[in-house]
Chains A and B, each alone.
Chain A
Amino acid sequence: MAEIVEPTTSPVAAVTGPAYLLLFPIPVVCFIGALLTDLTYASNAVIQWLAFSEWLIAAGLVFGAFAVIASLVELIAAEPLRSNIVGWGHIFLFWAAMIVELFNALVHSIDGWTAVVPTGLILSIIGSILAVLAVATLFFVPVAWVPAREVRNDRS
């Protein structure tokens, strides 16, 4: 696919673009999942839900870390992303969600109720909102940033 990509987008971005798009929804889903399990724990205090939240946040952070690396490559390599305010907004929101959830993982390591109520739950809400906003920005990024669409663009 790389040979038909526009010269403005480097071959590296052709790889990280799809990689990023593949990875970045995983933490989004994990963080929203952790918000749901937090809400459950806050309502029934059954300790298993705290463990669910912890694993979801941990998994979100691991896959999110790979997504952050991919987004860094993207930023360096993909000129359309760099030159677009929405692209910056997307990256900023996603990274912010990751930082909030990193704190959240530490708060969730408390042994019991105060791992969630109130601080962990508030951080889960903030992290989930940031993650969802990051998804929303994707509807506004230039088509050129998404290599698959870019190719189609070239042919038309």
Chain B
Amino acid sequence: MIVRKLLACAAVLALAGCGSSQKIDPTSQFGPNPNLPEPSRALLVRMHIPKVVGWKDGETPTVPNGFHIAAFATGLANPRQIYPLPNGDIIVVETQKSGSEPLDRPKRPIMDWMESRAHGGSGTGASNRLLLFRDSNGDGKPDGKSVLVDHLNAPYGVVYSNGFLYVADTDAILRFPFTPGQTAITAPPVKVTDLPAGPIDHHWTKDLTISPDGTKLYVGIGSNSNAMERGETAERGRAQIWEVDPKTGAHRTYASGLRNPNGLAFYPGSNTLWAVINERDELGPNLVPDYLTSVKPGAFYGWPYSYWGQHVDPRVRPQRPDLVKTAIMPDYSLSSHVAPLGMNFYTGNSFPAQFRGGAFIGEHGSWNRPELNGYRVVFIRFQDGRPVGNPMDFVWGFIGKDGNAHGRPVGVTVDRTGALLVADDVGNTVWRVTFPSAAYKMTGAQPIG
């Protein structure tokens, strides 16, 4: 019967639209030349969101042999970033985007629900503030805690320079007069510049750093969509890193085509800016790899028209072959959907020598693939200022044996004792990783890979 034929035809067409399942070894996606399968999309977007259970007393993530992990601060509300001040005080950024995105498509409520489930519901009370922790003797147990700044608007990046604390809210960079040692800031801020926010504000985390000479701020501004499905105008000024003059607020585009840049940091002793980038979803479980890259001034990294250099995204219209031709490849693939949101270089002295100058990356974890990826802090060794080898798992166990999520790592930083601090916005904890074992240090054993 004709109808049956039509139905069979429809089924075939539907399947043709989803293609293969992209079976590749995920470790083949580490480094400068990741294995890139063909785009593939199941009829239903592949999702796997672990149930959030939090940490019970005494439970911690896992670290390599010889290292030790303990909670530095608990009972927080969505801690996402950590910033060490010159005097050793630690700023923890509690942050939460307010309001939901406009109901523009029928799939939006499903995406919203998914997002809230991944964060364990609606959150825990007060947020959108900077907390200051003081650990006078450096034992990892803070002896002072205060609210440094309150009532911010989804803050993310924080940087101190020359008598000022700069805070990147989701809609503006603010400048507070500040002297390290202060435990509260009462002076009103000056707005340095507005940042693209607006009613959608899809990727809302605005990470911030400052040039080593203190003359220019750099702010990462994520895209307003997955692959420009909200149109070109919604992306004005987005998917870019801006260079901002802290005095005048004037900005220029430092680099573009970066879908969601975070973890902005200058390589120690250099003028090279690095960042980690969240790439696009819904092209299959093994596309597109997220990456760590040095950010070349004026460079275009592809989004939304192409990925990993010049691989054209078939979903994006109008196509821009002129721009795709200029798209450059990033430096180092972290594999797909790991969601890197924090990055910092190891500048301390208390970890073994091979850690010095390497990068720690907080991988918030995947939703768009059947097997979870990310949900860990990885370490990538650097040689002559370039990443080498495969990433090494450094903090893991955020996903329990039962498959539930205890936490999700975000911002990473190094405190004055050389310990690594990890913000866990789902476990509402800041973790501190130390290297107490002198014996291990002396043998020079290789970290596990």
Residue positions of A touching B, CB distance < 8 A: 45-48, 50-51, 54-55, 58, 92-93, 96, 99-100, 103, 105-107, 109-115, 119, 122-123, 126, 129-130
Contacts and interface: CB of A to CB of B under 8 A. Distances in A.
Interface string B78-106: 00000000000000000000000000111
B16 interface: yes
B9 A126 contact: yes
Nearest to A113: B317
B7 A51 contact: no
Contacts, number: 82
**Closest 10 interchain pairs by CB?**
A112-B315, A111-B229, A45-B317, A119-B17, A58-B106, A113-B317, A103-B14, A109-B107, A47-B231, A106-B43
A50 B231 CA distance: 11
B227 interface: yes
A100 B229 contact: no
Contacts of A54: 105-107
Contacts of A92: 3
Nearest to B281: A111
24 contacts: A46-B231, A48-B231, A50-B229, A54-B105, A92-B3, A96-B7, A103-B14, A106-B14, A106-B43, A106-B44, A107-B14, A107-B17, A109-B105, A110-B17, A110-B282, A111-B226, A111-B229, A112-B227, A113-B315, A123-B13, A126-B6, A126-B10, A129-B6, A130-B6
Contact of A113 (B45, B226, B316): B316
Interface in B301-353: 313-318
Interface in B1-49: 3, 6-7, 9-11, 13-14, 16-17, 41, 43-45
Nearest to B316: A112
Contacts of A114: 17, 314-315
- Max count, chain B CB within 10 A of own CB: residue among A46, A105, A114, A129: A114
The secondary structure that dominates the B interface is: loop
Interface of B: 3, 6-7, 9-11, 13-14, 16-17, 41, 43-45, 104-107, 225-231, 282, 313-318
Contacts of B230: 47
A95 B6 CA distance: 13
Contacts of A109: 45, 105-107
Given A107-B43, A114-B315, A126-B9, 20 more contacts: A45-B318, A50-B229, A93-B3, A96-B3, A99-B7, A105-B106, A106-B14, A106-B44, A109-B45, A109-B106, A111-B229, A112-B228, A113-B314, A113-B317, A114-B17, A119-B14, A122-B10, A122-B13, A126-B10, A130-B6
A58 B108 CA distance: 13
Given A92-B3, A106-B44, A112 B317 contact: yes
Contacts of A115: 315
Residue among A47, A58, A92 with max Cβ neighbours from chain B (10 Å): A47
A112 B106 CA distance: 14
Nearest to B226: A111
B16 A119 contact: yes
A129 B16 CA distance: 21
A77 B10 CA distance: 31
A96 to B, nearest CB: 5
Contacts of B315: 110-115
Contact of B227 (A45, A111, A126, A130): A111
A114 B226 CA distance: 14
Contacts of B17: 107, 110, 114, 119
A47 B229 contact: yes
Nearest to A120: B17
Contacts of B313: 112
A55 B103 CA distance: 11
Contacts of B7: 96, 99-100
A115 B228 CA distance: 13
Contacts of B227: 111-112
A114 B312 CA distance: 13
Nearest to B231: A47
B121 to A, nearest CB: 25
A37 to B, nearest CB: 13
A47 B104 CA distance: 11
B153 to A, nearest CB: 27
A92 B7 CA distance: 11
Contacts of B6: 96, 100, 126, 129-130
